[in-house]
Amino acid sequence: MNKTPVVIVTGASRGLGAAVARWLAVVGAGVTLVARSGGDLDRVAEELERLSGKPLVCKADVSDYVACQTVVERTMERFGRIDSLVNNAGIIQPIAAVAECDPAAWRYSIDVNLIGPFNLTRAALSHLRKQNGRIVNVSSGAATQALANVSAYCAGKAALNHFTRVLAAEESDLTALTVRPGVVDTAMQAFIREAGPKAMPAEQVDYYQQLKDHGQLEAPETPARSIAWLALHAPRQFSGRFYVYDDPFISAKALAVFGKVPG
């Protein structure tokens, strides 16, 4: 029987998700890469192959429950077990005031940011129970802060935090938690700088631009290292809680397991 831990990572085609997958591959974990973008997924898979083994690539939209079922089925066929989920897939769109927001776009944001983690969790739950598994839901500071003109993203992340608390209360054999990855230098931040001036208050736009200009955005590899450690090693007492990636306990443990960020 395969004893290597197996982790499903969503939003794995770039940015934070790809970085989480790379850290997992460094320590030899089996990884299922999930995203909507097949070409980018293949490039990440090639990187992981050079590190260890052969990851499973699944092109899927997490807002589709049947697609999530297929991801779980394929993972079991390939690896024979599922130890952890990293529900990282997320979108910040639409950036618009509630009074002007496209209802369909608002709904799709909730579908990805909240329903997506539910879908994959629900599909994988019976397999996770067998491994006393872990579910790491990637949240945001937006879960606790009211940010103008990103109501869907804020609402989705706030609901994700509470969904995770309820899941932890229901599933006593699992460890389910949320983590705030900080402000990361990813395509999402680039989109905010591009689209923000059309909808956000000027001071909010300036804040995000200053983060970039002053080099204050975190490289994805740093929070990803903490998330990878949580996926493999988060203790049971973490269940139901909301952590920040640079919590000294988490970041120190992650550094000890994975080593320093390359470069």
Range of weakest confidence among 78-87, 201-210, 247-256: 201-210
Which residues on adjacent β-strands are paired with residue 86?
9, 136
Q: What is the pLDDT of residues 67-107, one digit of tens each?
A: 999 999 999 999 999 999 999 999 999 999 999 999 999 99
What is the pLDDT, as a whole number, of residue 224?
Answer: 97
Sheet holding 56-59, edge to edge: 56-59, 30-35, 6-10, 84-87, 134-138, 175-180, 242-244
Q: What percent of the chain has pLDDT over 70?
A: 99
Distance CA(34)–CA(29), nearest Å, equals 16
Q: What is the mean pLDDT of the chain?
A: 94
Report the greatest alpha carbon distance in the chain: 57
Alpha helices in the chain (DSSP H): 15-26, 38-51, 65-79, 103-110, 116-130, 151-170, 187-195, 202-213, 221-233, 248-258
Catalytic residue, candidates 153, 208, 243, 245:
153
Quote the tokens at residue 223: 């929070």
| Average confidence (pLDDT) over 32-47 | 92
Residue 123 has pLDDT above 80, yes or no: yes
Cα-Cα-Cα-Cα dihedral sign, residues 235, 237, 239, 243: negative
SS3 42: helix
| Block residue for tokens 């591009």 | 194
Alpha-carbon Rg for the chain, nearest whole angstrom, is 17
Instruction: Pick the more confident residue, 220 or 195.
Output: 220
| Average confidence (pLDDT) over 102-122 | 98
Structural domains of the chain sorted by starting position, each given as residue range(s) with its CATH number in brackets: 6-184+220-258 (3.40.50.720)
59 catalytic? Reply is no
What is the pLDDT, as a whole number, of residue 180?
Answer: 97
Instruction: Pick the more confident residue, 183 or 27.
Output: 27
Write the burial class of residue 34 (CB in 10 Å: 0-12 exposed, 13-18 middle, 19+ buried). Answer: buried
3 catalytic? Reply is no
Distance CA(156)–CA(107), nearest Å, equals 10
Residue 209 has pLDDT above 90, yes or no: no
Confidence band for 199, pLDDT divided at 50, 70 and 90: confident
What is the pLDDT, as a whole number, of residue 2?
Answer: 74
198 catalytic? Reply is no
Residue 263 has pLDDT above 80, yes or no: no
Instruction: Pick the more confident residue, 70 or 51.
Output: 70
Catalytic residue, candidates 84, 157, 208, 253:
157
Residue 205 has pLDDT above 80, yes or no: no
Q: What is the pTM of this model?
A: 0.95
Nearest CA among 77, 13, 70, 5 for reference residue 47: 13
The DSSP line for 108-136 is: HHHIIIIIHHHHHHHHHHHHHHHTT-EEE
Q: What is the pLDDT of residues 10-24, one digit of tens each?
A: 999 999 999 999 999
Catalytic residue, candidates 139, 140, 151, 239:
139
